[in-house]
């Protein structure tokens, strides 16, 4: 046994390649695992204290998401949103524990316009990281916030041990049809990105839109805006959901031609409800291919059939994206893991 306070490094290969790395107190190492084992630890790793189920203290090495992307052949990640009730919050954490078994590289947690869910967003990313061991990324928007308010939120995230943030302009406040910046805040996500990059050590993600942002006059204008977000300090891009991979490939190619070299992560939402996905796509501007809309329309009243179709379609999307060598896939879960879990199980079983 080693001296109190010393640590060993345990490495375990993840299902999609790469390694998960954990530091644990040496008196928890079994069978001499600590002897002669060495690992190169990137300086972006940060040790964070947490609790095991029985109250034992443990320390896990946490890395920025860009480091995770470098370590893994494919990084799978999931998006969740803060629930409204305590019961739903408890259910979310049960879902997160199930998601942990899928070995995601990280999760992200959304943020309501104006900061309505600020405390819950911070609580979820903090607890997911410290209690469950899920690397977590907090969403942060410009909506309704002054620079000073944003600084306080970022300070709280930093104190909570969060190293990853996605910088967004955000949707208009409830009751508004157009985004109006705070008089002492930011008008664009690129401004928020530059502010975070200049002041904090966070790994910063930004949003990309393969079909163009719904408010943008055309794709080229929107993609130029994304270029500005990257030059402002973004470390990687996560795209809005899309259903035609050719839209992603065109978008990715255009961004590379503009000189963008950061990782671009496609966002995928398995279809689980006909009316819901129709509503979502109208809100965000994503298009459903005609053949998919036609086939879904034929089974719209059979919920199980819609879910099976959605899982099969998302599986085909992901297989093609993986063959294209994307660095990761970000799943929009709507706080439910069943459909996403089925997609991942399909990918693993089908190689």
Residues acting as catalytic residues: 79
Both tokens assigned to 304: 């199980």
Q: How far is CA 230 from CA 64, 111, 141, 235, 284, in A?
A: 17, 21, 16, 7, 22
Residue 140 in contact with residue 165, Cβ under 8 Å? Answer: yes
Residue among 254, 239, 222, 233 nearest 326 (CA): 239
Helix, strand, coil share (%) of the chain residues, nearest 5: 40, 20, 40
Both tokens assigned to 206: 């930004």
Helices 338-349 & 303-323, crossing angle to 10 degrees?
A: 50
| Rounded-to-integer distance, Cα 189 and Cα 200, Å | 16
User: 87 in helix, strand or coil?
Assistant: helix
């Amino acid at each position: 046994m080693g001296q109190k306070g010393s640590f060993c490094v345990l490495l375990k290969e993840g299902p999609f390649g790469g390694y998960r790395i954990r530091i644990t107190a040496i008196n928890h190492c079994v069978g001499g695992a600590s002897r002669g084992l060495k690992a190169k630890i990137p300086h972006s790793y940060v040790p964070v204290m947490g609790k095991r189920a029985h109250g034992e203290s443990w320390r896990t090495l946490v890395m920025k998401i860009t480091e995770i992307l470098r370590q893994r052949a494919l990084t799978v990640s999931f998006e969740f949103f803060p629930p409204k009730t305590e019961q739903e919050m408890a259910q979310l954490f049960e879902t997160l524990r199930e998601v942990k078994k899928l070995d995601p590289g990280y999760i992200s947690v959304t943020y309501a316009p104006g900061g309505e869910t600020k405390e819950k967003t911070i609580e979820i990313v903090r607890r997911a990281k410290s209690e469950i061991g899920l690397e977590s990324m907090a969403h942060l928007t410009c909506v309704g916030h002054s620079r000073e308010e944003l600084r306080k939120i970022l300070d709280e995230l930093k104190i909570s041990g969060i190293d990853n943030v996605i910088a967004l302009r955000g949707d208009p406040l409830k009751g508004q049809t157009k985004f109006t910046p705070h008089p002492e805040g930011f008008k664009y996500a690129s401004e928020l990105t530059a502010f975070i990059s200049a002041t904090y050590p966070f790994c910063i993600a930004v949003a990309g839109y393969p079909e163009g942002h719904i408010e943008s006059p055309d794709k080229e204008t929107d993609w130029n805006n994304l270029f500005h977000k990257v030059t402002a300090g973004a470390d990687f891009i996560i795209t809005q959901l899309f259903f035609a991979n050719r839209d992603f490939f065109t978008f990715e190619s255009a961004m590379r031609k503009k000189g963008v070299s950061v990782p671009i992560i496609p966002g995928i939402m398995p279809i689980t409800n006909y009316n819901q996905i129709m509503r979502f796509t109208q809100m965000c501007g994503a298009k459903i291919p005609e053949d998919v809309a036609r086939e879904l329309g034929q089974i719209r009243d059979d919920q199980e059939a819609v879910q099976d179709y959605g899982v099969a379609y998302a599986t085909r999307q992901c297989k093609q994206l993986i063959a294209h060598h994307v660095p990761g896939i970000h799943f929009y879960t709507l706080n439910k893991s069943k459909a996403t879990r089925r997609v991942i199980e399909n990918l693993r079983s089908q190689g």
